[in-house]
Amino acid sequence: MNEPAQILTAKSLAKAFAQGSEAITVLQDINLQVDAGERVAIVGRSGSGKSTLLHLLAGLDEADAGGVAVAGETMTPASNEARTALRRQYMGFVYQQHHLLPEFTALENVALPLRLNGASQQDAQSRSADLLERVGLGYRLSHIPSELSGGERQRVAVARALIHGPKLVLADEPTGNLDATSAAELMSLMVELSESRTVAFLVVTHDATMLHHFDRVLTLTGGGLEESKPSEA
């Protein structure tokens, strides 16, 4: 019951990339807190640094300054091993391009994070089958990604992101490659899962029609985050 109130905290994050002899500042002084179970959208024009920010929050890349904590534990600065361990325990990811393994079935793709976390094959497969059932894909367990529609692939990707019981899912334009109907279905699924499992979602999106699903909308502009109500974004 003692859920940490904040699942994610970022303080004074800064990031620049070298371009020739110059450093291009992408993020400066980013401060962000996400509560347990909260749904937060990040919007911003292309190139504003949204993907860079998600990578820093996931500990996949290191900030030049500042820190990130996940469930009260330090994600950065920390060793690669410590970051990987925190990611596997607390986080799930959904990308714009599903990033499913092409040779693996839907069931095997979803089971993989559990296997990496040490579950037996039998346990991993039965839990994965249950979750795929839950996202409406019980009849597609043995299909490989190329045999699934775009919307089905993203539902598998959402199941894979959630299978190990993370408290935070980071999603980078997860509906960006979907038609409007599939995008709306995927968003509804994410909302339902966030409510039934108290999973916080931090979602980068371009789609203004999705914003009413979020508790908060943050706009990334000029390297910083500005907050607005969903209705004003």
Ligand X SMILES: Nc1ncnc2c1ncn2[C@@H]1O[C@H](COP(=O)(O)OP(=O)(O)O)[C@@H](O)[C@H]1O
| Binding of ligand X by 205 (CB under 6 A) | no
| Binding of ligand X by 103 (CB under 6 A) | no
How many other CB atoms are there within 10 angstroms of residue 76's CB atom? 21
Residues in Cβ contact with 153 at an 8 Å cutoff, skipping those fewer than 6 apart: 98, 100, 145
Contact 158, 190 (CB under 8 A): yes
- Nearer to ligand X by Cβ, of 50 and 155: the residue is 50
The nearest distance, CB 106 to Mg ion, in angstroms, is 26
Q: Where are the alpha helices (DSSP H) in 32-79?
A: 50-57
Binder among 9, 30, 43, 49 for ligand X (CB under 6 A): 49
| Binding of Mg ion by 76 (CB under 5 A) | no
- Alpha-carbon distance of 118 to 26, in angstroms, equals 37
Which residue pairs from 147-152 have beta carbons closer than 8 angstroms and sit at least 24 positions apart in sequence?
148/106, 149/182, 150/177, 150/178, 150/179, 150/182, 151/178, 151/179, 151/181, 151/182, 151/185, 151/186, 152/106
| Binding of ligand X by 91 (CB under 6 A) | no
Structure tokens at 68: 């990130």
Choose the binding region for Mg ion from 30-38, 44-52, 55-63, 139-147 (rule: CB under 5 A). 44-52
Tell me the residue length of the chain. 233
- Nearer to ligand X by Cβ, of 47 and 118: the residue is 47
- Alpha-carbon distance of 106 to 145, in angstroms, equals 7
- CB-based closest residue to Mg ion: 51
| Binding of Mg ion by 51 (CB under 5 A) | yes
How many other CB atoms are there within 10 angstroms of residue 181's CB atom? 9
The nearest distance, CB 196 to ligand X, in angstroms, is 29
Binding residues for Mg ion, total number by CB under 5 A: 2
Q: Which of the residues 16 through 45 are near ligand X (CB under 6 A)?
A: 17, 26, 44
The nearest distance, CB 210 to ligand X, in angstroms, is 17
* C-alpha of 191 from chain center: 13
The nearest distance, CB 31 to ligand X, in angstroms, is 18
The nearest distance, CB 95 to ligand X, in angstroms, is 12
Question: Which of Mg ion, ligand X, none does residue 48 bind (CB under 5 to 8 Å by kind)?
Answer: ligand X
Residues that bind Mg ion (CB under 5 A): 50-51
- Interface positions with ligand X (CB under 6 A): 17, 26, 44, 46-52
